[in-house]
Amino acid sequence: MREPAYYIKTPAQIEIIKKAGKMIFEMFEELETWLEPGMRTMDIENYCRNYIESRGAIAAFAQVPGYKHATCISVNEEVVHGIPSVKKKIKEGDIVSIDAGTIVEGYYGDTCRTFAIGKISAKARKLMDVAKKSLELGIEQARIGNRLGDIGHAIQSYAESEGFSVVRDFVGHGVGIKLHEAPQVLHYGKPNTGIKLVEGMVLAIEPMINEGTWRTKVLKDGWTAVTSDGKLSAQYEHSVAITKDGPVITTM
Q: Looking at residue 204, what is its pLDDT?
A: 99
pLDDT at 114 over 70: yes
pLDDT of residue 4: 85
Residues 6 or more apart in contact with residue 97 via CB below 8 angstroms: 72, 73, 74, 75, 78, 80, 82, 112, 113, 114, 115, 233, 234, 235
Intra-chain end-to-end CA distance of the chain, in Å: 33
What is the tens place of the pLDDT at every residue in 141-189? Answer: 999 999 999 999 999 999 999 999 999 999 999 999 999 999 999 999 9
Percent of the chain with pLDDT over 70: 100
One-letter amino acid for residue 141 of the chain: Q
pLDDT number for residue 7: 97
245 contacts: CB under 8 Å, gap ≥ 6? none
Mean pLDDT, residues 77-100: 98
User: Is pLDDT above 70 for 1?
Assistant: no
Q: How confident is the model over 12-27, as a mean pLDDT?
A: 98
Residues 48 and 70: their CA atoms lie apart, in Å, by 7
Q: Binning pLDDT at 50, 70 and 90, where does residue 2 land?
A: confident
Q: What is the pLDDT at residue 98? A: 99
pLDDT given at position 55? 98
Domain topology for 11-249: Creatine Amidinohydrolase (3.90.230)
The dihedral through the CA atoms of 59, 82, 80, 111 has a sign that is: positive
- 3: pLDDT strictly greater than 80: no
- Summarize the confidence of residues 12-34 as an average pLDDT: 98
In whole angstroms, how far apart are CA 118 and each of 1, 50, 115?
A: 49, 24, 9
Q: Where are the domains of the chain?
A: 11-249
Does residue 108 sit in helix, strand or coil?
A: strand
Per-residue pLDDT of 32-88, as tens digits, reads 999 999 999 999 999 999 999 999 999 999 999 999 999 999 999 999 999 999 999
Mean pLDDT of the chain: 98
The yes-or-no verdict on residue 130 having pLDDT over 80 is yes
